[in-house]
Amino acid sequence: MQSILVVDDDKDICTLVSNFLGKKGFSVTVAHNGDDAVGKLKKEEFALILCDYRLPDTNGVEMIQRVRLIQPGAAIVIITGYSDVKTAVDTFKHGADDYVVKPLYPDEILMTIKEAISKKEEGKRSTQSKKKTTSGQSQVVYVDGVSPQAETVKKHIELVAPSDMSVIISGETGTGKEYVAKAIHQKSNRQGKPFVALDCGALPNELAGSELFGHVKGAFTGAVIDKAGTFELADSGTLFLDEIGNLSYENQVKLLRVLQERNIRRIGGSKVVPIDVRIVVATNEDLTEAVKEGKFREDLYHRLNEFKIELSPLRQRKEDIMLFAKHFLNKANKSLNKSVKSFSKEVEGHLNEYHWYGNLRELNNVVKRAVLLCGGDEIEKDHLPGEILNSSTHVHLSQANIGANGSEDNILKAVTGSAERQAIIDVLEKTGFNKSKAAEVLKIDRKTLYNKLKAYDIKL
């Protein structure tokens, strides 16, 4: 029986979720705040932690960091409100596996939990056996888009895959960086050899060296057996390092040395182990800026940047939205044992209009929930979250000229509620989070902007 820790200060939610998951064969433990959860994590091992982003004494990011230190092998699913989806998406760079939005639907929670645990267990298997091949990865379907950007990515994959060049895949969270990495591996001469993925964003700094290079028994407190690192496990195959920018400076130095010398030494060991590994890394930040700021080593960047593939956000490739939506529809039908056939024209309009901060991951979750709610053959607008239905009132910055000669109209007069919150976020992003410039663009004073940031709980 798999154990799940539910962390939420809403006792009614905890009771409902506990009763439902208990009937589905899970052992459920409940905590109502972060400290209580940490205490339970130290006493019992859990397969998954289902945690509300907002807790009385902490937040989702801090809880992820605590979980990763105490139980690095546990899956983490964040609970959030739909207006905070952008915040939830940001938790992925810190190691979250998935998220669910309120109101909670039992079947959606169950499916998300099963998928998160399954993915985590697959990852564990890939790091337990050096003999693992791509048989498990063959189930991963990489869908080519039809937009010009997608065509460019497809050509780049075909071009670089047969080589042994190191590749940097850049793009926002949820744009499919790991899928691209697997496509490169599957089209390479290393196909059939191990593909090992390591999420550097989910690794506390003190564990990163051990995960990358392995350790010998007694190397540090808790090192009770010898352990191979991901470099050894990926030998002759491909090592995919996600969120590479999260590596500490010390581990960047060690990684550079391995790439130069093509051998590793386990932590606490003296034996030199030669390795033959192709490196593919991914990041959702601008590494060139990180280099300028001294956060990322320039020599390591150039060593990794033999070839770069840039993934555009979904909102910039509208032609691909419905293609992926239909793919996710088929996927959800299989998972939920349903037979929804299509989207209404009105729904297609809303999907094409929405900003998609979480990109493909968010689209997948929205379609999954819509299929769950749909009782007929076609997804209607009532099956979509209110924030997506209101997206038609969002400000289109490309049309709202936010330069020095911006419109004299007050942008916020045209929108209300969640749309106003979104308009503020859009302008902040467009102005590089310069609050003075954002206030100028929105035609409001700084004090009003600060009040609205507080009222809408927009954290910068």
**pLDDT tens per residue across span 321-367:** 999 999 999 999 998 999 999 999 999 999 998 989 899 999 999 99
Of 61, 96, 122, which residue constitutes the final position of a domain?
Answer: 122
Whether the per-residue pLDDT at 387 is higher than 90: the answer is no
Model confidence at 404, pLDDT cuts 50, 70, 90, reads: very low
Q: Does 55 share its domain with 168?
A: no
Q: Does 197 share its domain with 303?
A: yes
Of 71, 103, 122, which residue constitutes the final position of a domain?
Answer: 122
Model confidence at 312, pLDDT cuts 50, 70, 90, reads: very high
- Average model confidence (pLDDT) for the chain? 86
432 found inside a domain: no
What is the pTM (predicted TM-score) of this model?
A: 0.76
Give the helix/strand (H/E) hosting 309: strand 307-310
CB 196 within 8 A of CB 126: yes
Q: Does 278 share its domain with 327?
A: no
Model confidence at 144, pLDDT cuts 50, 70, 90, reads: confident
Q: Determine the pLDDT at residue 125.
A: 61
CA gap 420, 89 in Å, rounded: 20
CATH of the domain at 16: 3.40.50.2300
Q: Among 19-28, 219-228, 361-370, which stretch is predicted with the lowest mean pLDDT?
A: 219-228
Tokens for 338? Answer: 């349903």
Mean pLDDT, to the nearest integer, of 36-44? 96
**Which tens digits make up the pLDDT trace of 182-209?**
999 999 999 999 999 998 887 877 788 8
CA gap 222, 88 in Å, rounded: 32
For residue 110, the one-letter residue type is: L
Token pair 């989070």: residue: 433
Give the helix/strand (H/E) hosting 397: none
Q: Does 201 share its domain with 290?
A: yes
Other C-beta atoms closer than 10 Å to the C-beta of 209 total: 22
426 found inside a domain: no
Of 253, 277, 310, which residue constitutes the final position of a domain?
Answer: 310
Q: Determine the pLDDT at residue 352.
A: 93
Q: Does 286 share its domain with 355?
A: no
Q: Determine the pLDDT at residue 123.
A: 65
Mean pLDDT, to the nearest integer, of 121-148? 59
Q: Does 110 share its domain with 134?
A: no
Q: Does 150 share its domain with 274?
A: yes
228 found inside a domain: yes
CATH of the domain at 217: 3.40.50.300
- Range list of H helices, 99-147: 106-128
Q: Which residues contact 33 (CB under 8 A, 6 or more apart)?
A: 7, 9, 55, 56, 57, 58
Q: Does 97 share its domain with 139?
A: no
Residue 326 domain boundaries? 314-393
Q: Does 136 share its domain with 250?
A: yes
Q: Number of folded domains in the chain?
A: 3
DSSP string, 310-338: EPPPGGG-GGGHHHHHHHHHHHHHHHHT-
Q: Does 118 share its domain with 136?
A: no
Strands 263-265 and 272-274: antiparallel
Q: Determine the pLDDT at residue 139.
A: 43
Model confidence at 141, pLDDT cuts 50, 70, 90, reads: low
CA gap 449, 336 in Å, rounded: 44
Q: Does 7 share its domain with 81?
A: yes
Please, which residues bridge with residue 265 across strands? 272
Token pair 């050894």: residue: 232
**Helices 446-455 and 417-430, axial angle in degrees (round to 10):** 120
Cα-only R_g, the chain: 23
437 found inside a domain: no
- pLDDT: is 101 or 390 the higher one? 101
Model confidence at 137, pLDDT cuts 50, 70, 90, reads: very low
Q: Does 149 share its domain with 272?
A: yes
Q: Determine the pLDDT at residue 412.
A: 52
Share of the chain above pLDDT 70, in %: 89
Q: Write the DSSP symbol of residue 434.
A: -
